[in-house]
Amino acid sequence: MLNLKLERDICFFDIEATGLNVVRDRIIQIAIIKYPAKGGDPQELSMLINPGIPISEEAFQVHGIHPKDVAKKPVFQQVAQKIYDFIGNADLAGYNSGRFDIPMLMEEFARVGIEFDMERRRTIDVQRIFYKMEPRTLKAAVRFYCERDFDDAHDALADVKATIEVFAGQLARYKNVDYRDEDGNVAEAPIRNDVQALHEFTNDNRFVDVTQKLKYDGNGVVVFNFGKYMGQPAAPILSKDKQYYNWILNKEFTSQVKQAVKKLVKEYEKAQQEKS
């Protein structure tokens, strides 16, 4: 039971979408729990929505909502007034809602001609409370794992020594401790005295480069993770669209991206020649 002093209603809500771009992507599910200021039981509203555009593979891997699940559901325009009326003049709260859910909802309302005024609403982002109260800085890590204060933060030598001390503390603290991800998958004791195991645990192998401009799709094919070819196989496009290929090589992309692009094109064109 939520024990929160309310001057007006407050709606906690969450959105699942076709992707993470609040302007380009669309809502496919919204759930709202509204706590009345006057007291009483909270009210719930939850629905699936047909976005009218494809659901990205990356988004599907997160929420598991398949296009067929929303194919026969109403589009946002058909449910917009119902959502708007349910929220009313309530304040809003959510997890990462300030950066994602609220702007996403505002964009959807704007597309159907509904002005969703935020000036008089107060908002609570539960993620921001978490990040502020449980900071993930090196100084906080030293305090947590080493049980001491760290006063020389941002001196490079002091920082690297503290990092080593924290790492040693992690190896000790998580020895024989299994890791369970948000989907319930279990990795047996991933924090152990094994560089390869630690490499696999601390790196996101979905991406080709550290700036995440190129990634692997569900079939292991390298696809674009930005720009006009977002989600499309990189090698054949780069081989065909030389202007785009040269644009990447001449713009401020990392050397890692440029090397990957060159390698993709070289290997693709070699394979095409061998086929002919």
Indicate whether 105 belongs to any domain. yes
Note whether 22 and 117 are same-domain residues: yes
Specify the higher pLDDT residue, 232 or 1. 232
Q: Across all residues in the chain, what is the average pLDDT?
A: 92
Domain span at residue 258?
A: 214-275
Same domain, 37 and 100: yes
End-to-end CA distance of the chain: 68
Residues 109 and 14 in one domain: yes
Token look-up 């991206």 returns 257
Domain match, 39 and 82 both: yes
Residues 31 and 80 in one domain: yes
Q: Which residue, among 135, 124, 81, has the nearest Cα to 102 in the 3D structure? A: 124
For residue 185, being part of any structural domain is answered with yes
Choosing from 202, 229, 244, the residue where a domain stops is 202
What Cα–Cα distance (Å) separates residue 156 from each residue in 153, 165, 196, 271?
Answer: 8, 14, 26, 47
Residue 135: predicted pLDDT = 87
Residue 32, pLDDT above cutoff 70:
yes
Q: What is the CA 40 to chain-centroid distance, rounded?
A: 34
The reply to whether 209 falls in a domain is no
Q: How many domains does the chain have?
A: 3
How much of the chain exceeds pLDDT 90, in percent? 71
63 falls within a domain = yes
Please indicate, yes or no, whether residues 270 and 191 belong to a single structural domain of this protein.
Answer: no
Choosing from 77, 98, 130, the residue where a domain stops is: 130
* For residues 145-164, average pLDDT: 85
| Residue with more model confidence, 182 or 268 | 268
Confidence of residue 1 (pLDDT cuts 50, 70, 90): low
Q: Are residues 194 and 117 in the same domain?
A: no
pLDDT 10s digits, 200-242: 888 778 899 888 999 999 899 999 999 999 999 999 999 999 9
22 and 75 share a domain? yes
pLDDT for the residue 155: 77
Indicate the residue among 96, 130, 164 that finishes a domain. 130
Residue 251 and residue 249: Cα distance in Å, rounded? 6
In the predicted model, is pLDDT for residue 79 greater than 80? yes
Q: What's CA 203's distance to the chain center, in Å?
A: 16
- Examine the domain organization and report whether 39 and 78 are in the same domain: yes
At residue 24, φ and ψ (nearest 5 deg) are -85, -35
- The answer to whether residues 74 and 93 belong to one domain is yes
pLDDT surpasses 70 at 158: yes
* More confident of the two residues 241 and 58: 241
Reading the block at residue 55, the tokens are 């659901």
Answer yes or no: is 3 within a domain. no
Torsion sign, CA atoms 93, 22, 184, 201? negative
Predicted confidence (pLDDT) per residue in 85-136, tens digit: 999 999 999 999 998 999 999 999 999 999 898 888 999 999 998 888 888 8
Residue type for 152, please? D
Residue 109 in contact with residue 92, Cβ under 8 Å? no
Residue 72, domain member (yes or no): yes
